[in-house]
């Protein structure tokens, strides 16, 4: 893809191969860098910077917003010197190999090394592993990942787990039970089967509709977060 950067070269001047490198970025990261530089450094208006580098005005505004909230984004790879790289004679290299054999990702390895005082970025770890002949890890299931703090898994609705054994309970919504005889008379399942409303084994369409109706019956004006089964 080429961009209209050449339009900003004065007439009669020839665009050199080196200049074209900046005017026609070859990948998305380079393109973002040049577009943001044109806006923040050259003072180019948002709409013109977007046009020059092939963005829509809306998507370029989003790019500007994200950069303002994270202006330290690394656009360039670290140099292969200093603490960011592991020479072949460095014992850290062997430690990286050992950790990869434990099925750790580049991010897991980088964090593990940081705990021991070795600040090596995930990119640098990836380069070392590539030099050592390791392929990328396949996508892992959660149980295959190292133990870390993860979001609490919420309870999932499943009509198959419904227990209708007689019991006693206390609730603030006992009035809902007054509507049960009327709800039982409505052939929800037959009606919804005819309309083709989607459902699942865990949450059939009829259960979803009854849940929504229950929200209304106990007096809540609106439940924007309550939705129908997936696919509707």
pLDDT at 228: 46
Query: What is the percent of the chain with per-residue pLDDT over 90, rounded to a whole number?
Result: 5
Q: Which two tokens mark 45?
A: 């208006």
Q: Which of 19-28, 38-47, 138-147, 181-190 has the highest mean pLDDT?
A: 38-47
* pLDDT of 131 higher than 60: yes
Q: Which two tokens mark 199?
A: 């459902």
The burial class, CB within 10 Å (0-12 / 13-18 / 19+), for 49 is: buried
Of 93 and 80, which is predicted with more confidence?
93
Cα–Cα distance measured from residue 57 to residue 47, given in angstroms and rounded to the nearest whole number = 6
Of 194 and 82, which is predicted with more confidence?
194
Looking at the domain assignment, is residue 164 inside a domain?
no
* pLDDT of 96 higher than 60: yes
Judge if 64 and 88 occupy the same domain. Answer: no
* pLDDT of 227 higher than 80: no
Other beta carbons less than 10 A from residue 219's beta carbon:
8
From residue 167, alpha-carbon distances to 72, 163, 164, 182, 223 in Å are 59, 10, 8, 22, 29
Judge if 12 and 57 occupy the same domain. Answer: yes
* pLDDT of 173 higher than 60: yes
Per the prediction, the chain carries an average pLDDT of 77
Least trusted range by pLDDT, from 22-26, 46-50, 91-95, 196-200: 22-26
Mean pLDDT of 61-84: 73
* pLDDT of 231 higher than 70: no
**Structure confidence by residue, pLDDT tens digits, 39-70:** 999 999 999 999 888 888 888 999 899 888 88
| Count of domains observed in the chain | 3
SS3 state at 50: helix
pLDDT at 27: 78
pLDDT at 169: 81
Judge if 8 and 63 occupy the same domain. Answer: yes
Cα–Cα distance measured from residue 229 to residue 157, given in angstroms and rounded to the nearest whole number = 11
Of 166 and 22, which is predicted with more confidence?
166
Question: Nearest to residue 100, comparing CAs of 148, 134, 138?
Answer: 134
Question: Nearest to residue 88, comparing CAs of 117, 125, 128?
Answer: 128
Cα–Cα distance measured from residue 53 to residue 64, given in angstroms and rounded to the nearest whole number = 14
**Structure confidence by residue, pLDDT tens digits, 205-215:** 888 888 888 88
Looking at the domain assignment, is residue 159 inside a domain?
no
Looking at the domain assignment, is residue 153 inside a domain?
no
Is this model's pTM higher than 0.85 or not? no
Looking at the domain assignment, is residue 196 inside a domain?
yes
Q: Return the half-sphere exposure (C-beta side, CA atoms, 13 A cut-off) of residue 79.
A: 2
Question: Nearest to residue 7, comparing CAs of 19, 95, 17?
Answer: 19
Looking at the domain assignment, is residue 74 inside a domain?
no
Looking at the domain assignment, is residue 48 inside a domain?
yes
Domain limits for position 14? 4-69
* pLDDT of 230 higher than 70: no
């Amino acid at each position: 893809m080429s961009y209209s950067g050449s339009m900003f070269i004065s007439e009669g001047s020839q665009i050199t191969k080196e200049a074209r490198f900046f005017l026609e970025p070859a990948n998305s990261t380079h393109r973002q860098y040049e577009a943001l530089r044109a806006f923040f450094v050259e003072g180019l208006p948002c709409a013109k910077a977007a046009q020059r580098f092939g963005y829509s005005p809306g998507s370029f505004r989003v790019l500007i917003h994200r950069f303002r909230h994270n202006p330290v984004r690394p656009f360039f790879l670290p140099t292969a010197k200093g603490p960011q790289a592991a020479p072949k004679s460095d014992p850290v290299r062997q430690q990286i190999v050992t950790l990869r054999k434990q099925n750790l990702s580049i991010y897991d390895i980088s964090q593990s090394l940081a705990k021991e005082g070795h600040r090596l970025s995930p990119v640098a770890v990836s380069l070392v592993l590539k030099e050592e002949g390791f392929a990328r890890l396949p996508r892992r299931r959660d149980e295959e990942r190292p133990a870390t703090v993860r979001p609490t898994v919420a309870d999932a609705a499943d009509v198959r787990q419904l227990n209708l054994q007689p019991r006693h309970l206390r609730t603030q919504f006992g009035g809902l039970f007054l509507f049960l005889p009327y709800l039982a008379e409505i052939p929800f399942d037959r009606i919804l089967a005819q309309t083709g409303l989607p459902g699942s084994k865990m949450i059939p369409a009829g259960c979803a509709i009854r849940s929504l109706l229950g929200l209304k019956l106990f007096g809540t004006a609106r439940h924007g977060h309550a939705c129908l089964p997936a696919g509707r």
